[in-house]
Amino acid sequence: YLALNYDTSMMGGDTRFSLNYGYKSEITQFEIPNADIDQGSYGLVNASAIWASSDDKWRVGLHGKNLTDEEVKTSGYCFGAGQGAGTATACPSTLGLENNTTVFYAAPRTITGTIEYRF
């Protein structure tokens, strides 16, 4: 994980620019590796710019997550034949859910804006 922050005064307040990069190596969801649900290594880039008024009552921000739009598997389930049928990497055949694979993904590139007023 690497993060860079830059703080400066502008427009009657303080602004923080942030950029960060996080890397994860390969992730195996279960004891038996399976390419259908396992996640290869990847890196994510996030950035933000947040302005705060001098009295700290107002904050305005622009935030970007997963800026390189990586497709990241966060979890999954694989029942039945699936990839590697007949080998040690096959999905287990249990619960009567043969040939059923479900994969969940992290959010794609996301850009959001925020406006905050503090009482």
Which residues of the chain form beta strands (DSSP E)?
2-10, 13-24, 42-53, 58-65, 73-79, 100-105, 110-117
* pLDDT 10s digits, 104-116: 999 999 999 999 9
- The larger pLDDT score, comparing residue 92 to residue 30, is at 30
What is the residue type of 40? G
Q: How far is CA 114 from CA 15, 44, 50, 61, 119, in A?
A: 14, 21, 9, 5, 16
pLDDT tops 80 at residue 85: no
Rounded CA separation 26/14 (Å): 39
Sign of the dihedral defined by the CA atoms of residues 47, 48, 49, 54, in that order: negative
Exposure string over 15-29, b if 16+ CB within 10 A, otherwise e: beebbeeeeeeeeeb
Using pLDDT thresholds of 50, 70 and 90, give the confidence band for residue 22: very high
Average pLDDT over every residue of 3-18: 97
Percent of the chain with pLDDT over 70: 83
Q: How many CA atoms lie within 13 A of 95 on its CB side?
A: 9
* pLDDT 10s digits, 27-63: 988 888 888 889 999 999 999 999 999 999 999 999 9
Q: Where are the domains of the chain?
A: 2-72+108-117
